Amino acid sequence: MDVTEQHEAKTALEKAYDEIKKSEGQLQLVIDTIPGMVWSGLPDGAFDFVNEPWLTYLGLSWEELSARGGLVSVVHPDDVEESVDRWNATRSTGRHTDHELRMRRADGQYRWFLTRALPLRDDLGNVVKWYGTATDIEDRKRTEMLLAGEKRLLEMIARGDSRALILDALCRFVEGLASGGLSSILLLDSNTNRLRHGSAPGLPTKYVEAIDGLVIGPSVGSCGTAAYRGEPVIVSDIATDPLWADYRRLALAHELRACWSTPILSSAGKVLGTFAIYYREPRSPNPEDSNVIGQITHLASIAIERAQATQALQQQANLLDQAHDAIFIWEFPRTIVYWNRGAEQLYGFSREEAIGRLGHELLHTEHPMATPEFEAALERDGEWTGELTQTIRDGRKIIVESRQVMMRETDGRRLVLETNRDITDRRRAEAEQKRGAEALREAQADLAHVSRATTMGELTASLAHEVNQPITAAVTNANTCVRWLAGDTPNIEEARDAAIRSAKDGTRAAEIISRIRLLFKKGTTERDVVDVNEVIREMIVLLRGEATRYAISIRTDLAADLPPLMADRVQLQQVMLNLIMNSIDAMKDVDGARELAIKSQRAENEHLQVSVSDTGVGLPAQQADEIFNAFFTTKLEGTGLGLSISRSIVESHGGRLWAA
């Protein structure tokens, strides 16, 4: 026997075993790092395994969990009865089911989870094992609640509802999110440095009355101190914190033990008031609490500033009724000859101080046109309209909407009537709106990631099966290689072929795992040249197990002459993932042929078109547009976000997504 050939075969075998070991390690890593918990159970329903993330979440060992009665011991009391009934029904019918429930974390807090159970059957159809997952959907639920709440509050602001009504809605919204929390909004009177009652629907009336008119200072509880410092003040235990020394008895008399207060800042950084959450037990905020507080104080700032701006605009409207716009008349070369009361109020200069001065010097006017060009336009057209930046008496710069009209006197003098209206608040509001739009885009990106991760979490069982296939093949080929080498006359050629096949199977498993990890990754949008057909094939590989489970055949017709596409690969994968999963959901309960067809083709103007069709239950014509609305769904367990996110992704790439 050739020693060199034996050595080569041994080397190939060792490589195959290394690939298998690496793939198994990667699979275990995926199981222990996916955003969900994995479990298995016996036919009678007793759990015999939960993965490490689940034990870490619970803060228990397997022995401790078993001693407490198993997983039912950590389910929220309000969800126990329904959860037990659904699990009993699942075991009796032998069919998988999805269920949402709350489970207690190690710190005592409850979070929402989506659970799924699937049976493993023997050749006779008997259930021999149960497998399942529990995916954390707390972020999704909180995001849905926050987005809906923000939308409702912004609509109230835009509608012009009263400040009192908006602040009350803000507090009630937070109390609905923060279990056991009592919200309060106090408004700062800058003239007296006192905090005045804004809203506190859940706090005791006598306590609200006692703190109304509180003078801010360095040690005035949580709110008075937060307004004084201009920064958040977190008091986890009122009974021991020195900031509450003068107010401790008042708070404890009303069973208030913790108070987190955050200043409400204007867009210019000025303190407008405070937003606080009280608890009846000592407590510190977690990152989720901090995120909610940040969003609520931002909304409160918009509401208060809007109310202040509305009040200022109303005052300006009253002045306009009395012809009190900032109106002044100047004579070439811009010497002021008339200065009305509106100008006094806007710029801060009295009539006596202004008349006789050059207007552009007094107000440090920043004009969009050079002086000769502006004067020539005024002479030619007889008027000019535009925006100016001017400096008022206290040194602040303002933006005014200016209209200047040429008036010629009979004595030959050239006079200009200039009417200015302050639009600084409007420009600031537009800038705030732009920042809000950017924040919304970031929220949409986070929501897309949550949706993607949730979908992948729901597919854990199918994905594990898809990864297990090449690993099983690799093990089989490795055993074949061993048998070829163990014979009386080792067949080196057959052994080498088996080892090579084993190595390829291990590589294929590693590639599948890599694709799964890429979909779970959260990062910034990165666009590059993408092969759309390759994206389609990758998603088919990942979802092949899910399609097979429901006896669905997949047919593709992918054009080879597609134009190049600059796109974010992960985002396109998410679109295809949503579309294919929707088709699978539409067909899994239908009788007859179940076929999923995916076609790519070149369209007009160097565009490409991808269509996904199925033989499912179909879509009513009146719902063709509604399905793309956020939170609209035709599924019992659907979130209504998948198609909305998919359309946003496609449109951000310059395309469109529609249903036919």
User: 351-362 pLDDT, tens per residue?
Assistant: 899 988 988 889
Domain with CATH 3.30.450.40 in the chain: 142-311
pLDDT at 275: 95
Q: Which range among 178-192, 319-333, 578-592 shows the weakest confidence by mean pLDDT?
A: 319-333
Of the spans 235-244, 350-359, 567-576, which averages the highest pLDDT?
Answer: 235-244
CATH code 3.30.450.40 for 142-311: yes
Peptide bond into 368 cis (omega under 30): no
Predicted confidence at residue 320, as pLDDT, reads: 43
Torsion of the alpha carbons at 352, 358, 359 and 361, rounded to the nearest 10:
-110
Between 247 and 539, name the one with better pLDDT: 247
Across 222-233, average pLDDT: 95
pLDDT at 517: 61
- Where in the chain are all domains bearing CATH 3.30.450.20? 33-137, 318-427
For residue range 50-77, what is the model confidence (pLDDT) as tens digits? 888 888 888 888 888 888 888 888 898 8
Q: Is the pLDDT of residue 128 over 50?
A: yes
Q: Which fold has domain 33-137?
A: Beta-Lactamase (3.30.450)
Percent of the chain with pLDDT over 90: 20
Lowest mean pLDDT among 410-419, 433-442, 458-467, 545-554: 458-467
pLDDT in tens, 461-516: 455 555 555 676 566 667 777 777 777 778 788 778 767 777 766 666 665 566 55
CA-to-CA dists, residue 412 to 252, 407, 408, 430, 655, angstroms? 80, 10, 6, 43, 63
pLDDT of residue 564: 81
The residue-averaged pLDDT of 510-536 equals 69
Global confidence as pTM: 0.40
Mean pLDDT comparison of 234-243, 431-440, 442-451, highest-scoring range: 234-243
Indicate if the pLDDT at residue 159 is higher than 80.
Answer: no
Q: Which CATH code fits 524-660?
A: 3.30.565.10
Q: Is the pLDDT of residue 188 over 90?
A: yes
Question: pLDDT category, 46, cuts 50, 70, 90?
Answer: confident
Q: What is the mean pLDDT of the chain?
A: 80
Q: Where in the chain is the domain with CATH 3.30.565.10?
A: 524-660
For 318-427, give the CATH class: alpha beta
Q: Which residue has the higher pLDDT, 196 or 633?
A: 196
Supply the pLDDT for residue 198.
Answer: 92
Long-range contacts of 322-327, Cβ-Cβ distance < 8 Å, separation of 24 or more: 325/419, 325/420, 325/421, 326/400, 326/419, 326/420, 326/421, 326/422, 327/417, 327/418, 327/419, 327/420
Label each residue of 352-371 as H, E or C: HHHCCCEHHHHCCCECCCCH
